[in-house]
Structure 1
Amino acid sequence: MERQIIGKCRKQLTFVVLFNFLFWFLLLYFYSEFSVGKNPIALFGNNFGNSDNPQESNFVHLHENSLEPNTQLPDMGNNQSNEEIRDVKNVTKTESSNIRSRNWDTSTAKNVFQAEDDGFESVHQISVSEKELEPDNNQMQAHSRDNEAKFVEVSGSENGEESENEVAPNVNGNKNAPTITKQSSREKKRGAESDVVDRSCLGRYVYVHDLPKKFNEDLLKNCRSLSNWTDMCEFTSNLGLGPRLPNFVKVYSKYGWFATNQFLLEVIFHNRMKQYRCLTKNSSMASAIFVPYYAGLDVARYLWGSNTSMRDSGSLQLVKWLREKPEWKKMWGRDHFMVAGRITWDFRRLTDGDFDWGSKLMLLPESRNMTILTIESSPWSNNDYAIPYPTYFHPSKDIEVFQWQNRMRRQKRRFLFSFAGAARPNLQDSIRSEIIAQCQASRRKCKLLDCDSHSNKCYKPVFVMKMFQSSVFCLQPAGDSYTRRSAFDSILAGCIPVFFHPGSAYVQYLWHLPKDHTKYSVFIPAFDIKKGNISIERTLHRIPKHKIRAMREEVISLIPKVIYADPSSRLETLDDAFDIAVKGVLERVSRVEREMREGKSSSFDYLEELSWKYNLLGTVQKEHEWDPFFART
């Protein structure tokens, strides 16, 4: 009886053991088949069949669901944003069928790249041509080193092993600049450069010419030669912003204020360009090409007491250097742009007489093809565009701009209007003497900062900004030329500018200021002031208060568009004057390129002296009230 019981128990125990063995075998089988995404044969074959170099087949997967909200992806040295990494993942997903590793067949690679369906992701950047990925297993084994794709992986590895993929340094140390992966030996033999394309930068890539230092850096090193009257070395500090301004009387905000010289725009712009997100070292990818020549600083050394050959030497050497570059021959300079940080008339000398003013940079045939950005452009020419003068405010964060705007909204303004400047008795058409007289006659309604006095208050930013902040309107008549830096200082102070000539702003800063000038300014024709037919005080008094509030709000909203951010940083959500200028250049180059494809010989089919009307109105046919201001005699 006992033997029968023991035998029956043995049979039951054997059955349980076999059942458990079968259960665990099936469990492991289905886990490997569905959870890992491979069949067991492929799984074991890839892990052990190529064990001579196991690191080559180690792809580290990042479990997306394991990340907490707002968790940033690990930085593996390619300096890409999370959005860029996700873009790369999407590219990888669509192109994964074309990718071969030296140890994987096509079906295996497909299984691995599709593992994200089961909660895993493998993120890669691909820098290999389709020709190198042709399915030839023998050739692949023979030339595996030459043809291997370079993958930039998002590493979540616990053992901390570094990826074998290498990434070249970013342009100018810019973290967001396009990353260039190192090339395979075959690509190097062909002289090809493989760029990882940031899709958000397509159509916005800028290539910067590496000019000889004599065109820029050496000028700053010899800063004492830049002016006969001013120590420019002080102003070239802080990347061209100049020394920081003390805030003893609380006129400025806490951060971002500098004693910036109005002629240092070239240096500021160049340093801002080094922070531009869409830089590329591959000129074939570029939509525009920047020429960092400090034309204004160069010519300023020879504007007084030098012959024309000295004033033209830098410009002639530059265009000769450009002509010899392959980038020039692509569009013969029509995709090139530069900044000349002085008014356009300093570069438009019509004759070769030593007593004629300036250089002839903008009249050279090569320069005629380029886009040249200046602080004041010519209404009668088509190759230069005006961008704002640099002001004293150079914020490094968006919040600094917002705080300043709010402060200007709350500012109490004691004076109806104000004027900072000096008379121009030697200029026949100047209305400054009349303006000063009207301001003095208005007594408590007008604040005058007379620059003819010996106090030199006009050259001290604290007095200018304090006066503008306490004024509703700021008078901006023409001076030695049409434009003034003071116009942008007044906008910065939330003071509504009053212009007397359309060439002072309306036909100048078309990228940065609204075309409807009535939204942000008041226009009083200079002819009426000269004839004594109009009172500035009565004209401004007649403007309704609700209209003044709307105009002031428009002026304050323009502040981000007319300032240049600190070149050592980058604003996050705001476009500053630099950003808007680059966008304008890219749009212009795109338009010119389209016209070249269509066989047009130039970007305008009208008299160039009517450029102001075409750029402002889009036509030259209609008569305009401003025609008398721009009549050439």
Structure 2
Amino acid sequence: MKRHNAAELPVPVSNGGERDDKTGSKVDKMGGAARRWRCGGCCSRLWFVLVVSATVTMLVLHGYDSGLGHGAAAVVRIEPVRRGSYHTRKVNPVDRGGGGGRPSFCGSSPSPPDSGSAKPVTVDHKSATSDSSTGTESDGGGEPSSASSSRPAAEDKSDRCGGRYMYVQELPLRFNTDMVKNCAALFPWTDMCKFTANGGFGPQMSGGGGVFQETGWYNSDKYTVDIIFHDRMRRYECLTGDPSLAAAVYVPFFAGLEVWRHLWGFNVTTRDAMALEVVDIITSRPEWRAMGGRDHFFTAGLITWDFRRLADGDGHWGSKLFSLPAIKNMTALVVEASPWHLNDAAIPFPTAFHPASDEAVFVWQDKIRRLERPWLFSFAGAARPGSAKSIRSELIAQCRASSVCSLMECADGPSNKCGSPARYMRLFQSSIFCLQPQGDSYTRKSAFDAMLAGCIPVFFHPGTAYVQYTWHLPKNHADYSVYISEDDVRGNASIEERLRRITPAAVERMRETVISLVPTVVYAQPSSKLDTMKDAFDVTVDAIIDKVTRLRRDIVDGRGEEEKLEMYSWKYPLLRQGQKVEDPHEWDSLASILLYSLLAWPKAAMLTSQ
């Protein structure tokens, strides 16, 4: 039977008469006596009851078809509403299958010009009620249900977001977007406002003398991951207001920006204040008690050592955020992780490319695949004369002495040849191999710039990439890179000779692998969705969901959390099927060197550029 809206129901005409089409007056066709005999005084009441009953029935049936009836999952639209320092969420029923936008929360950081503005999103989940006192959807308060303390509700096979829902922990805006509004105070010597613009992408670039495409390119700073990730997460297609359905909980705390603005000229009390405050907030929430925070994650877009102060006292570097017991249960996303701690994970530095579509990626991949590369290898960087552990002086000397190496020496101030992304990207695009020694810390943004240009990276230390970006790069480092140990370089091994030994076929295979990695190491436009590939954000979210899902399954099945040794935390992601952590590994001999480098880490190294 066809179901109608109330407006579509036929309204019966009263038997009191019909109207003449020309005069508009009533025409009595039956006569008054006949009308009274047929209907009597109950006629109008009978018709009224019939109309009301039919209308109610049709509305109930129509509501059931729309997914709002008993037994159907409610569909709600979450819209931000300011209330004091928090955003509350207003929950309104909408039609299923609507909108491709995403909800905003915790304020709204600026969106890139070609990405469009944030729009509300349709989110499918179980009915949630709004708790106006906390500004979040609540499951009724108190202890979480048994379902939320074990695993999300049973996955609906027809639900496109099944097993992928994210719950966003509400925080006051001063923990995130207020820092961006006060961007001039983020760094003592540089105005960071131009780099925090456009959702953390920085100023737009185009052309670059043929180096870039016309759109999707920005002068991105290496430490704006907090903003970029937040902008993507607030548009994530599977947000939910019901924490019992969530695969993981995102905490929108800009830990990187918070520490960054207090690293110089502030005492340890100031550096630690917001870290302690955010822990108090999140640990008091019911969703924390479900897994003790093991399903929570946040971004801290600096290197891990900025959050691991080795001792108290104003003369010691960094904050103690990662040393707090609650934080140790969470997953912290950093641009450089610790090889000896289990719960921080490295994600790529931002590059200059932020594609808006699959086609933009394909066009770029085709471009770098066809490029002529006249230089066998190249190096862009500055010497570190005051650092005994650095091999940069040796690399610069070898590059200068070689007729097949191109050198771009970097320096502070206006003479810096590496200051323009177009300059170093042009160098990388003209090179087969790009030398990537340690930066100011183990890692180096330049490694991702080189891969974006289709240049095969040459690493000299496993801490620069191999034990870092295990979610985003292949386990077998020989598939996409060349490894020459620092000891070999110090022993006068010829880099040119090593690279010439690699066959053209092997070079082609490695370059093709590097080109295939482009989407996984770039952050796409926040309002776009790559259809046939995953960018760095997607890869990260999938890895977090997988990590929490496995942990939750172990808890439910009574196996408990797998016992892992932090001293081998770098090794676990690299294990192949059947391997054990005790099995020999090519970098076992470097473990003590890695640890020594950590303990001897100079504060001065943190102050210079990579």
Choose the corresponding residue for 2:583, options 622, 625, 630: 622
Q: Is the counterpart of residue 610 in structure 1 residue 559 in structure 2? A: no
What is the SS of the residue equivalent to 1:579?
Answer: helix
Answer whether contact 2:296 2:330 (CA < 8 A) is retained: yes
Answer whether contact 1:288 1:336 (CA < 8 A) is retained: yes
Q: Distance in 2 between matches of 1:151 and 1:128?
A: 16
Q: Distance in 1 between matches of 2:323 and 2:126?
A: 41
Q: Distance in 2 between matches of 1:459 and 1:630?
A: 34
Q: Distance in 2 between matches of 1:487 and 1:468?
A: 10
Match of 1:586 in 2: 545
Q: 1:57 to 1:183 in 2, by over 3 A?
A: farther
Give the aligned residue type for 2:526.
P
Q: 1:373 to 1:182 in 2, by over 3 A?
A: closer
Match of 1:278 in 2: 238
Match of 1:118 in 2: none
Q: Is the counterpart of residue 438 in structure 1 residue 370 in structure 2? A: no
Q: Distance in 1 between matches of 2:120 and 2:502?
A: 50
Answer whether contact 1:340 1:374 (CA < 8 A) is retained: yes
What is the SS of the residue equivalent to 2:497?
Answer: helix
- What is the deviation of 1:620? 1.6
- What is the deviation of 1:56? 3.7
Q: Distance in 2 between matches of 1:359 and 1:190?
A: 35
Give the aligned residue type for 2:482.
V
Q: Distance in 2 between matches of 1:404 and 1:55?
A: 59
Answer whether contact 1:343 1:374 (CA < 8 A) is retained: yes
Match of 1:230 in 2: 190
What is the SS of the residue equivalent to 1:385?
Answer: strand
Answer whether contact 1:606 1:620 (CA < 8 A) is retained: no
Q: Once the two structures are superposed, what CA deviation does each residue of 1:461-498 show, in whole Å capped at 9, x if it has no partner?
A: 01011100000000000022111000100110000000
Q: Is the counterpart of residue 310 in structure 1 residue 255 in structure 2? A: no
5 Å-filtered alignment, 1:49-448, equals: 50-52=50-52, 54-58=54-58, 101=60, 123-129=65-71, 152=95, 171-172=103-104, 177-179=122-124, 199-443=159-403, 445-448=404-407
- What is the deviation of 1:565? 0.4
Count of matched residue positions in the alignment of Structure 1 and Structure 2:
499
Q: Distance in 2 between matches of 1:297 and 1:283?
A: 27
Give the aligned residue type for 2:441.
S
Match of 1:160 in 2: none
Match of 1:551 in 2: 510
Q: Distance in 2 between matches of 1:429 and 1:264?
A: 28
Match of 2:408 in 1: 449
Q: 1:372 to 1:183 in 2, by over 3 A?
A: closer
Give the aligned residue type for 2:590.
F
- What is the deviation of 1:206? 0.3
Give the aligned residue type for 1:51.
V
What is the SS of the residue equivalent to 2:167?
Answer: strand
Q: 1:53 to 1:238 in 2, by over 3 A?
A: farther
Q: Distance in 1 between matches of 2:434 and 2:260?
A: 30
Q: Distance in 2 between matches of 1:371 and 1:36?
A: 52
> Which segment is superposed worse, 244-253 or 171-180?
171-180
Give the aligned residue type for 1:569.
S
- What is the deviation of 1:615? 2.1
Q: Distance in 2 between matches of 1:433 and 1:531?
A: 13
Q: Is the counterpart of residue 564 in structure 1 residue 509 in structure 2? A: no
Give the number of the structure whose alpha-carbon radius of gyration is greater: 1
- What is the deviation of 1:190? 9.7
Q: 1:619 to 1:176 in 2, by over 3 A?
A: farther
Q: Once the two structures are superposed, what CA deviation does each residue of 1:68-108 show, in whole Å capped at 9, x if it has no partner?
A: xxxxxxxxxxxxxxxxxxxxxxxxxxxxxxxxx4xxxxxxx
Q: 1:54 to 1:557 in 2, by over 3 A?
A: same
What is the SS of the residue equivalent to 1:587?
Answer: helix
What is the SS of the residue equivalent to 1:513?
Answer: coil
**Structure richer in helix, relative to its length:** 1
**Structure richer in strand, relative to its length:** 2
What is the SS of the residue equivalent to 2:298?
Answer: strand
Q: CA RMSD in A?
A: 3.3
Answer whether contact 1:170 1:180 (CA < 8 A) is retained: no
- What is the deviation of 1:439? 0.4
Match of 1:133 in 2: none
Q: Distance in 2 between matches of 1:332 and 1:455?
A: 52
Q: Distance in 2 between matches of 1:509 and 1:189?
A: 36
Q: 1:222 to 1:573 in 2, by over 3 A?
A: same
What is the SS of the residue equivalent to 1:459?
Answer: coil
Greater relative CO, 1 or 2 (CA 8 Å, sep 6+): 2
Q: Is the counterpart of residue 480 in structure 1 residue 450 in structure 2? A: no
Match of 2:149 in 1: none
Q: 1:182 to 1:332 in 2, by over 3 A?
A: closer
- What is the deviation of 1:284? 1.9
| Unmatched 5+ stretches in structure 1 | 1-34, 38-42, 60-100, 102-108, 114-121, 131-149, 155-165
Answer whether contact 2:356 2:528 (CA < 8 A) is retained: yes
Give the aligned residue type for 1:629.
L
Q: Distance in 1 between matches of 2:566 and 2:543?
A: 20
Answer whether contact 1:125 1:151 (CA < 8 A) is retained: no
Q: 1:331 to 1:127 in 2, by over 3 A?
A: farther
Q: 1:311 to 1:601 in 2, by over 3 A?
A: farther
Choose the corresponding residue for 1:515, options 467, 470, 475: 475
Q: Once the two structures are superposed, what CA deviation does each residue of 1:587-615 show, in whole Å capped at 9, x if it has no partner?
A: 11112222333455644x24211111122
Answer whether contact 1:174 1:277 (CA < 8 A) is retained: no
Q: 1:355 to 1:125 in 2, by over 3 A?
A: same
Answer whether contact 2:436 2:457 (CA < 8 A) is retained: yes
What percent identity do the matched residue pairs reach?
A: 47
Give the aligned residue type for 2:315.
F
Q: Distance in 2 between matches of 1:417 and 1:181?
A: 56
Q: Distance in 2 between matches of 1:176 and 1:530?
A: 56
- What is the deviation of 1:568? 3.0
| Unmatched 5+ stretches in structure 2 | 4-8, 13-46, 73-92, 105-117, 131-136, 146-152, 597-610
Q: Distance in 1 between matches of 2:257 and 2:94?
A: 46
Answer whether contact 1:241 1:260 (CA < 8 A) is retained: yes
What is the SS of the residue equivalent to 2:447?
Answer: helix
What is the SS of the residue equivalent to 2:70?
Answer: coil
Q: 1:331 to 1:544 in 2, by over 3 A?
A: same
| TM-score after normalising by structure 2 | 0.76
Answer whether contact 2:456 2:511 (CA < 8 A) is retained: yes
